[in-house]
């Protein structure tokens, strides 16, 4: 079965963000699938990160995805691609190599695909820092964007929370922890005050402010003069993201002898339901026409590159990738049947949108 062969080939090429050689090999593999229909891929290198687009310069429909994964080199040796019944497993099989395989199959199935485009990026998993300008430029020239990110238990994604990425750094004063700790300013203690206060900037559900990764100190017998924490912010509205941004930048130290610096900012605007309304109606119509189950829709907390395209006012529907579970987890799996179903669904949408 071609889908299984392609998925095994793609999953077996490890593509953690930043691994240029693996990402280039994966792009070359996908180019072999897409070039017969869309022509050879056009590579764009941005700050050392490679992204590739195929097809029309001003596409009627743009298929959007990312080639990078969160899995480090060597994971494939421990978690090789495998198939058990309808389930396939392996690093990145659900997020989002199954979606890429479905996109390539949809391009081959579409009867009216001469004016479509495909864009795959290489740094989505770390915030699309080098690809954002490119994908916004391409999306702005497109009639609609279909994002092949994984589904949510088969449901497409009609809205996503926006997000911010921050770092809060504390500067204190070093001192010997045994001889004169009182002469130091403990950056770790100050950081602890900040970390415990951060979640209260959200409401715990709709808006979340989550300390995630922290560092402090160098040796046990020294008062640390440096400490830092990384912060993940999520919210359903841009106004909420801007409110949290302001409150983070207004943070003051509990110990006045310490200093605080907040860097980072809003990374992805929210994807609001209005952006997906027309495309979801079309997707539901196509799903019925091809005999699939009634298509379901969900609003989800995680962000994707669809947030950027929706914020531009471009009709955007997300979660068109396969059914499965375990994104970013070792039990990651995808349904082979759903990959084929999504390919038919996306092909049908390509054929009907804007014609």
Domain boundaries, given as residue ranges, for the chain: 2-160+270-352, 162-268
Question: Chain-wide mean pLDDT for the chain?
Answer: 96
* Token digits of residue 145: 């964007």
| Overall fold of domain 162-268 | Alpha-Beta Plaits (3.30.70)
In angstroms, rounded to a whole number, what is the distance separating the alpha carbons of residues 301 and 178?
47
Q: How confident is the model at residue 204 (pLDDT cuts 50, 70, 90)?
A: confident
Return d(Cα 113, Cα 294) in angstroms, integer: 25
Would you state the structure tokens that stand for residue 238, as one six-digit string?
Answer: 């841009």
For residue 268, the cross-strand partners are: 163
In the predicted model, what is the mean pLDDT of residues 81-100?
A: 98
Q: Are the folds of 2-160+270-352 and 162-268 the same?
A: no
Q: Is the pLDDT of residue 205 over 90?
A: no
Percentage of residues in the chain having pLDDT higher than 70:
100
SS3 262: strand
Closest CA to 60 of 291, 287, 355: 355
Q: Work out the average pLDDT over 62-84.
A: 98
Q: What is the pLDDT of residue 1?
A: 81
d(CA 310, CA 198): 29
**Secondary structure letter of residue 173 according to DSSP:** B
Provide the pLDDT for residue 74.
97
Quick check: 355 pLDDT over 80?
no
Residue 120 has pLDDT above 90, yes or no: yes
Contacts of 43 (CB under 8 A, 6+ apart): 27, 50, 51, 52
pLDDT at residue 122 tops 80: yes
pLDDT at 354: 85
pTM to 2 decimal places:
0.88
Mean local confidence (pLDDT), 39-66: 97
Task: Please give the structure tokens belonging to residue 83.
Answer: 């198939």
Res. 168: pLDDT tops 80 = yes
Q: Name the residue with tokens 């909420």.
A: 240
Distance CA(230)–CA(248), nearest Å, equals 12
C-alpha span between 276 and 273 (Å, rounded): 6
DSSP per-residue string spanning 321-338? S--EE-TTSTT-EEEHHH
Mean pLDDT of 219-230: 98
The CATH class of the 2-160+270-352 domain is alpha beta
């Amino acid at each position: 079965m071609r889908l299984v062969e392609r998925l095994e080939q793609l999953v077996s090429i490890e593509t953690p963000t930043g691994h240029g050689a693996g990402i280039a090999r994966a792009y070359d593999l996908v180019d072999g699938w897409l070039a017969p229909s869309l022509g050879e891929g056009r590579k764009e290198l941005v700050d050392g990160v490679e992204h590739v687009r195929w097809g029309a310069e001003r596409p009627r429909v743009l298929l959007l995805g990312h080639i990078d994964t969160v899995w480090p080199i060597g994971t494939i040796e421990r978690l090789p691609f495998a198939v058990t019944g309808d389930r396939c497993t392996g690093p990145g099989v659900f997020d989002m190599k199954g979606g890429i395989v479905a996109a390539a199959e949809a391009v081959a199935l579409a009867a009216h695909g001469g004016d479509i485009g495909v864009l795959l990026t290489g740094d989505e998993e770390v915030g699309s820092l080098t690809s954002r300008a490119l994908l916004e430029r391409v999306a702005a020239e497109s009639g609609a964007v279909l994002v092949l990110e994984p589904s949510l238990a088969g449901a497409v994604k009609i809205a996503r929370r926006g997000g911010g990425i921050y770092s809060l750094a504390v500067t204190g004063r070093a001192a010997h922890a045994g001889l004169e700790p009182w002469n130091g300013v403990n950056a770790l203690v100050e950081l602890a005050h900040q970390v415990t206060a951060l979640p209260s900037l959200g409401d715990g559900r709709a808006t979340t402010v989550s300390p995630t990764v922290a560092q402090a100190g160098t040796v046990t017998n020294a008062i640390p003069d440096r400490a830092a924490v990384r912060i993940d912010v999520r919210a359903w509205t841009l106004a909420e993201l801007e409110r949290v941004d302001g409150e983070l930048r207004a943070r003051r130290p509990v110990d006045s002898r310490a200093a605080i610096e907040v860097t980072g900012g809003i990374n992805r605007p929210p994807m609001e339901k209005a952006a997906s309304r027309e495309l979801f109606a079309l997707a539901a119509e196509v799903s019925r026409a091809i005999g699939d189950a009634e298509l379901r829709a969900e609003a989800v907390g995680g962000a994707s590159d669809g947030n950027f395209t929706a914020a531009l006012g471009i009709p955007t529907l997300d979660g068109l990738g396969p059914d499965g579970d375990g994104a970013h987890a070792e039990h990651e799996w995808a349904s082979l049947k759903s990959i084929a179903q999504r390919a038919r669904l996306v092909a049908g949408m390509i054929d009907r949108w804007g014609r």
